[in-house]
C-alpha cells in the first residue's frame, strides 16, 4: 500500500459491514485502489459512494430511471470516489475510465439534458466532499486540521473540475453522433407523441417503422441487468399476439415497447396470447413487464403506455413491500390499486384511518388483514377463503371475528372503504402501513 502523504486516509473505516467483493465498479479498479490506499479506506469509499448515489437520484431523478441505470450510475460514481481517494494519497491520477463515462453516453441516449447531468455532478461533489472533510477533521491532529482540510478541499475541487470537463466533452461528442442516428429520431418521435404534440401520423409511422393507425398494446420492460435486449420485449408482445412491434430503450435495463394487436381486443385488456406464455418468456430472460390495455390510434398509443407505467409503479411498490415479483403485470388486473395509490401519502393515511389497529405491523395482524380481505372478496364463503389460504375453516372464522374485534365494528359498517383499505394493505404492505 502506498502512503506517500496523508497517513490519515489509511485510517478511514466504514460505519457498516462493507465487502469489497460486492463493489459496484469493475474488480480491477477496486484491486488497484486497495493496492494504493488499503482495504479499509476502499470499503469506506464504497459505502460513501452508495449513499451519494442515493442522494443524487433523490435530487436529480432523471439520472435514475431503472435499477440497472442506477447500478450503472453507481459503478461510475464509485470509480470516481476511489480515484479521488487515490489522488489525495498520490497526487494526480489518470483520466476517468469507461466505468465513469458509460453512464454519460446512456444519458445522452435517454435525452437527459446536460444541465441535469452537471447538476448531478454538483450534488455528488458536494456530498462526497462533505464526507471527506468531516473524516479529515476527525482523523488529523487538531494543530494541523485547518491546513489539511483547506488542502483537501482545494484538491477535490480541482479533481472534480477536471472530471466535469471530461464528462462534458464525452456528452457533447456522444450527443453529436447520437442526434443524427435513426435511433435518436425514433426516440424523439416517441417522446413527442407521448407528450401530446400534434403529429403527422403517416410521417411519424414512417420514422418509427410502425403503423400508428393500428390498435396498440404498450409494455414497459425492466430488469436488474443492463443486457436485457429489445428481443425480449418483442418476444413478450408477440406472445400476446402482436403482429408488429416497436421497442425504444429508455434506460439501462428498461425499455418501452408497443405491439399492434387485433382491433377486437381493444379495451378488453386480454389480447389473443395467454399470460402464461408471456410470463414464461419473461421468466426465462429474468425480466419483468407491465402491460397496458389495447387501444386504437395515436390516442391509444399514449393511453396504453400510461397504463403500462402505472402498472409498473404498482409492481415496484409491491417489490419494495417484499411481495413476490410477478413476471407480467396487466394494468387491467391492478387498475384499482394503481388509482387508489396514485397519491401514496393520502393512500397510507386512508389505510391507517380505516383499519385502525388492524394496520399494525407484524405477522399476526397481516394474517388477519389477508383473511378479512379474501373473506369480503369471496362474499363471506368460509370454504372459498379456506381453499385460497390453505387453512381450516375454523381458522378463517377465528381470524374474521378477531379482525372485527380489532376494528371495533362489523364489516358492513363501511364495507367498500374497508375492502379498499385491505386491498391496498394486501398489495403494498409497508408502503401504506407505515407513515412515509
| DSSP codes joined into one string, 211-250 | -TTSEEEEEEEE-SSTT--HHHHHHHHHHTT-SSEEEEEE
Q: What are phi and psi of 222, to 5 degrees?
A: -140, 160
Rg of the Cα trace of the chain? 26
Mean pLDDT of 72-89: 88
- pLDDT given for residue 225 in this prediction: 66
pLDDT at 421 over 80: yes
pLDDT at 267 over 50: no
- pLDDT given for residue 145 in this prediction: 85
Model confidence at 99, in pLDDT bands (50, 70, 90)?
low
Stronger pLDDT, 428 or 239, i.e. the higher one: 428
Q: What are phi and psi of 220, to 5 degrees?
A: -110, 125
Mean pLDDT of 25-42: 89
pLDDT at 88 over 80: yes
- pLDDT given for residue 264 in this prediction: 63
**Which are the contacts of 353, defined by CB distance < 8 A and separation ≥ 6?**
none
- pLDDT given for residue 351 in this prediction: 95
Q: What is the pTM of this model?
A: 0.69
Model confidence at 315, in pLDDT bands (50, 70, 90)?
very high
Separation of first and last alpha carbons in the chain: 45
Question: Partners of 221 in the beta sheet?
Answer: 255, 289
Length reported for the chain: 436
- pLDDT given for residue 3 in this prediction: 46
Could you tell me the CA-to-CA distances from 79 to 98, 129, 170 in Å, in that order? 10, 15, 17
- pLDDT given for residue 13 in this prediction: 92
| Long-range CB pairs of 358-364, under 8 A, 24+ apart, other chains included | 358/403, 358/406, 358/407, 359/425, 359/433, 361/430, 361/433, 361/434
Mean pLDDT of 61-85: 86
Q: Right CATH number for 342-433 from 3.30.1360.120, 3.40.50.1000, 1.10.10.2840, 1.10.1660.10?
A: 1.10.10.2840
Q: Could you say which DSSP state residue 378 is in?
A: T
pLDDT at 304 over 90: yes
Burial class (CB in 10 A: 0-12, 13-18, 19+), 254: buried
Q: Could you say which DSSP state residue 323 is in?
A: P
- pLDDT given for residue 238 in this prediction: 78
Q: Are 211-338 and 342-433 in the same CATH fold?
A: no
Stronger pLDDT, 104 or 54, i.e. the higher one: 54
- pLDDT given for residue 265 in this prediction: 52
- pLDDT given for residue 170 in this prediction: 87
Q: Could you say which DSSP state residue 379 is in?
A: T
What pLDDT digit, counting tens, does each position of 138-160 carry? 898 888 888 889 988 988 888 88
Stronger pLDDT, 176 or 230, i.e. the higher one: 176
- pLDDT given for residue 1 in this prediction: 46
Could you tell me the CA-to-CA distances from 211 to 187, 245, 268 in Å, in that order? 15, 9, 21
**DSSP labels, 390-417:** T--HHHHHHHHHHHHHHHTS-TTTTHHH
| Number of alpha carbons in the 13 Å side-chain half-sphere of residue 261 | 33
Q: What are phi and psi of 66, to 5 degrees?
A: -170, 160
pLDDT at 174 over 80: yes
- pLDDT given for residue 59 in this prediction: 93
Sign of CA dihedral 171, 71, 320, 130: negative
Q: 265-269, 306-310, 318-322, 375-379: lowest mean pLDDT where?
A: 265-269
pLDDT above 70 as % of the chain = 93
Read off the C-alpha cell for 411: 364489516
Mean pLDDT of 282-308: 91
What is the helix (H) or strand (E) element at residue 290, kind and residue range? strand 288-291
Q: 197-201, 233-237, 311-315: lowest mean pLDDT where?
A: 233-237
Burial class (CB in 10 A: 0-12, 13-18, 19+), 136: buried
What pLDDT digit, counting tens, does each position of 176-228 carry? 888 778 888 888 899 899 988 777 899 999 988 999 999 999 999 888 765 55
pLDDT at 120 over 50: yes
The CA angle 82-118-116, to the nearest 5 degrees, is: 125
Could you tell me where the DSSP H helices lie in 260-381?
A: 275-284, 297-320, 331-340, 344-355, 363-377
Model confidence at 269, in pLDDT bands (50, 70, 90)?
very low
CATH code for the part of the protein at 211-338: 3.30.70
- pLDDT given for residue 2 in this prediction: 45
Domain limits, the chain? 7-178, 211-338, 342-433
Rounded to whole angstroms, the Cα distance separating 39 from 187 reads: 44
Rounded to whole angstroms, the Cα distance separating 297 from 260 reads: 10
- pLDDT given for residue 197 in this prediction: 79
Amino acid at each position: 500500500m502506498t502512503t506517500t502523504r496523508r497517513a490519515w486516509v489509511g485510517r478511514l473505516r466504514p460505519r457498516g459491514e462493507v465487502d469489497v467483493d460486492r463493489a459496484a465498479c469493475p474488480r480491477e479498479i477496486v484491486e488497484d485502489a486497495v493496492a494504493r490506499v488499503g482495504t479499509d479506506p476502499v470499503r469506506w469509499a464504497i459505502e460513501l459512494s452508495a449513499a451519494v448515489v442515493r442522494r443524487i437520484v433523490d435530487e436529480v431523478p432523471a439520472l435514475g430511471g431503472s435499477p440497472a441505470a442506477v447500478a450503472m450510475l453507481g459503478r461510475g460514481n464509485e470509480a470516481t470516489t476511489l480515484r479521488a481517494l487515490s489522488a489525495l494519497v498520490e497526487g494526480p491520477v489518470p483520466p476517468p475510465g469507461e466505468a465513469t463515462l458509460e453512464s454519460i453516453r446512456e444519458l445522452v441516449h435517454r435525452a437527459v439534458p446536460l444541465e441535469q447531468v452537471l447538476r448531478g455532478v454538483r450534488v455528488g461533489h458536494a456530498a462526497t466532499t462533505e464526507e471527506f472533510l468531516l473524516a479529515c477533521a476527525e482523523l488529523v491532529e487538531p494543530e494541523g486540521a485547518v491546513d489539511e482540510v483547506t488542502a483537501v478541499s482545494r484538491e477535490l475541487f480541482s479533481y472534480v473540475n477536471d472530471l466535469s470537463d471530461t464528462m462534458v466533452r464525452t456528452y457533447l461528442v456522444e450527443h453529436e453522433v447520437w442526434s443524427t442516428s435513426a435511433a435518436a429520431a425514433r426516440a424523439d418521435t416517441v417522446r413527442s407523441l407521448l407528450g401530446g404534440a400534434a403529429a403527422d401520423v403517416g410521417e411519424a409511422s414512417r420514422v418509427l417503422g410502425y403503423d400508428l393507425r393500428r390498435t396498440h398494446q404498450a409494455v414497459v420492460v425492466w430488469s436488474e441487468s443492463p443486457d436485457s435486449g429489445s428481443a425480449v420485449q418483442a418476444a413478450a408482445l408477440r406472445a400476446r399476439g402482436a403482429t408488429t412491434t416497436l421497442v425504444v430503450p429508455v434506460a439501462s435495463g428498461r425499455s418501452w415497447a408497443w405491439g399492434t394487436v387485433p382491433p377486437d381486443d381493444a379495451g378488453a385488456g386480454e389480447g389473443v396470447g395467454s399470460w402464461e406464455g408471456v410470463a414464461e418468456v419473461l421468466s426465462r430472460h429474468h425480466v419483468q413487464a407491465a402491460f397496458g390495455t389495447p387501444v386504437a390510434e395515436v390516442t391509444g398509443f399514449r393511453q396504453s403506455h400510461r397504463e403500462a407505467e402505472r402498472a409498473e409503479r404498482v409492481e415496484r411498490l409491491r417489490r419494495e413491500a417484499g411481495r413476490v415479483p410477478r413476471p407480467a403485470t396487466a394494468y387491467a388486473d391492478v387498475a384499482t390499486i394503481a388509482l387508489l395509490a396514485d397519491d401514496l401519502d393520502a393512500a397510507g393515511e386512508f389505510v391507517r384511518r380505516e383499519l385502525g389497529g388492524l394496520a399494525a405491523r407484524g405477522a399476526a395482524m397481516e394474517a388477519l388483514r389477508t383473511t378479512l380481505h379474501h373473506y369480503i372478496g369471496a362474499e363471506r364463503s368460509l370454504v372459498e377463503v379456506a381453499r385460497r389460504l390453505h387453512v381450516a375453516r375454523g381458522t378463517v372464522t377465528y381470524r374474521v371475528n378477531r379482525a372485527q374485534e380489532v376494528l371495533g365494528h362489523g364489516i358492513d359498517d363501511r364495507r367498500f372503504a374497508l375492502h379498499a383499505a385491505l386491498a391496498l394493505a394486501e398489495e403494498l404492505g409497508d408502503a401504506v402501513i407505515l407513515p412515509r
